[in-house]
Structure 1
């Protein structure tokens, strides 16, 4: 992710000092009738899992599929007619692109979105369908960002930063107003952190309305840029990011968002890739809701909360994920939870062996979903064959029982995944 853009007019300290809850309410008024007021969903499953009373804030059901619309619209709505006429520009391969495109379309401004050339065509077309001009450039976000800055200087467009902007974070903060209005005895809000704009706005609004409500930011372990900056006492960059939560794959937080998060956040929790994928699968199974990797960070952190018996709102930040990606994430989550087991055994190459293995699996209630009988994989004997089997299982205990049953029947099991 490219370096954060400095606020244009005031210093970070001045903005932090002078931004109030009135600014968030002003943003809410701008968004009235534009952003959906996504209603909280009480979750018995996640509540039982973590020992708190959990409510989901489904921003994946928002217009354009994520919270990003709020900040983009609020920012563009503050522009003068002359600025709108000049047009707006940003770089994004994700939710911010569609948020800016939608907002610009609604407010009568021309939008230019720079995206990496490798951006999936579905995301490109979705952005174009909202009236934006899409410029494909380079292989990475940084390439697209550099192109957007080049065009901004050349054409005089207004830059709409995805997070390091006061009006953007104020728009994101309207999410918290809706949560607190609907659940007045709330104890905590969980919010994902990428560059920090969402967490900044949510934390500001929450603490201004009710300082007793804890606001906890959640980052992927492989992209914990805000936690890294907190630890160093200043805005700092990660050398690399690696996470399935690509919407939060940010190397450097904004200087403005760092200041807001430092002042208003109570805690940051980091979550592993397996915790993210497991949360995604639980959300699909238990609530029939689709989210992206970054969208379920709050859910992935529920088991790490340092309290029990509290009312907790977990924000599902977005749901823009393509089918191939969600299929891969589900497969990985099933493996992590012990719901799929793939193994191989070495068999004598003679009739009846496959039947014997099948009998053992049937007795252990393992459902075979894939089987490969391959003699060519054995190089030290012409009288043996490798049998690779993939089965559906209940959990890791079930897998252990299958392995024991196979061992008892005289087969050595080589676990593949």
Structure 2
């Protein structure tokens, strides 16, 4: 079985401890991908997992820690094993920090060490493809410096700095734990979501687009979330949220605000449990989406002139009625449900340089980013806002909530002017960049998707591709992915944006929401 398809299963090996001479030798480079490499990766993954199950900690292990003379590290940050073959530090930041470090091979102590705050690494993956991770986050940089030290025969005690630098392992929780980043969204719950979400929303199509790759000058992978009963990705988060709500004994009505797609998703998911849904939408909302929300059983109340104003009215109405207000972007379960998109994307191919995700209220971006940074820490996560609805971008860049008086964009699905505090906080440490695209480039991306694959997607669904087209030089030669988030267009929108070409597209891909 070739390494690219081999399961990483093996029995764990004993971990060598300080005093064993094998921990002090410089390991030899791995020359080629073969069955031996496949076996060694499996052994390290099994040993790491067994140690973590037994001791409650452990993020990575290096080959010499089990007696293997190979330049090989296996990490598991919570989204599955990652193999780094022949890892090499290619850049170190001038800034350094002190950390309390732990190690399988010195199980009785923790040690204060000094590490570079950020590093870049080059390596080969389990399929022996060349990879490069640039300017890694501080926690991953610290971890990889520790593991690469192991490959050079260096232990953490060799790096001890200052007085009382070596402390008993009993102090680990007090010294090491606070250094590690904490996240509201949980990887374990993203995995659990995959079992709770209605299967009709799972395993969406993903493929490399040759035509779009040629246009963009980069390898472009599409994750198409439009081929399901509500024509958008929102069903993942909504069905996971409803499953949890019902399991906790929730029976009362739910209130939400929506530009249309989340309202459809909540109504669709609530039907299974007989739970009433009231959706507040702007008077300018997409008529087709309003029609579909009502057809799915929601009571739709049109209020005010935009989404955020409708949300404020919905919040007051929910409080007055004693109903639960469900905010897309605030509820962790909704973001975690959306995170399953990333788990599917990276199960297919983790060698992505960047993932560009539409950014409205942040549920999709944050759920995906949480998984991506655990599955491939060097993959850049880029949120994409419309230039005419830049509140989330301004808030992220400024590090504080920035609300705008209005929005002006064709991308109604991401037309947010009042960011959600929890969503902005979730972005910290997970999102590498937020960019803006104008409506003209978004429209071009929509038309490129139609020309290449017969897809009639909403403007919000096309902003990821638009960002690649707008910054072609930045992505040249890279492998990027984006999510096509929805395809719910009115006939007039299709006529306006696609003209005579729209009716000629295949009925299965140029679609409105199914009944």
* TM-score normalised to structure 1 length: 0.72
User: In the superposition, relative to structure 1, how do residues 18 and 292 fare at CA in structure 2: closer, same or farther (>3 Å)?
Assistant: closer
User: In the superposition, relative to structure 1, how do residues 121 and 83 fare at CA in structure 2: closer, same or farther (>3 Å)?
Assistant: farther
User: In the superposition, relative to structure 1, how do residues 239 and 140 fare at CA in structure 2: closer, same or farther (>3 Å)?
Assistant: closer
- The counterpart of 2:425, out of the listed 259, 267, 272, is 259
> In the alignment, does 2:336 pair up with 1:165?
no
> In the alignment, does 2:186 pair up with 1:20?
yes
Q: Give the secondary structure class of the aligned counterpart of 2:245.
A: coil
Q: Is the 8 A contact 1:21 1:209 kept in 2?
A: no
TM-aligned CA deviation for residue 107 of structure 1: 3.3
TM-aligned CA deviation for residue 106 of structure 1: 2.4
User: In the superposition, relative to structure 1, how do residues 71 and 271 fare at CA in structure 2: closer, same or farther (>3 Å)?
Assistant: same
User: In the superposition, relative to structure 1, how do residues 212 and 84 fare at CA in structure 2: closer, same or farther (>3 Å)?
Assistant: same
Specify the alignment match of 2:405 in structure 1: 239
Correspondences of 1:7-406 after superposition (within 5 Å): 16-17=182-183, 19-31=185-197, 33-80=199-246, 84-303=250-469, 304=471, 306-330=474-498
Q: Give the secondary structure class of the aligned counterpart of 2:436.
A: strand
**Structure 2 alignment gaps of length 5 or more:** 1-179, 502-515
Deviations 1:192-242 (A, max 9, x none): 101111111111111112212221111111112222112322121123211
TM-aligned CA deviation for residue 250 of structure 1: 0.5
**Structure 1 alignment gaps of length 5 or more:** 1-13, 334-417
Structure-2 separation of matches of 1:248 and 1:137: 18
RMSD, aligned α-carbons:
2.5
Aligned residues: 321
Q: Give the secondary structure class of the aligned counterpart of 1:135.
A: strand
Bigger relative contact order, structure 1 or 2 (CA pairs below 8 A, ≥6 apart): 1
TM-aligned CA deviation for residue 149 of structure 1: 2.0
TM-aligned CA deviation for residue 115 of structure 1: 2.4
Structure-1 separation of matches of 2:347 and 2:371: 12
TM-aligned CA deviation for residue 95 of structure 1: 0.7
Specify the alignment match of 1:339 in structure 2: none
Q: Quick check: which one's helix share is greater?
A: 1
Structure-2 separation of matches of 1:81 and 1:312: 38
TM-aligned CA deviation for residue 82 of structure 1: 7.0
* TM-score normalised to structure 2 length: 0.58
Q: Give the secondary structure class of the aligned counterpart of 2:339.
A: helix
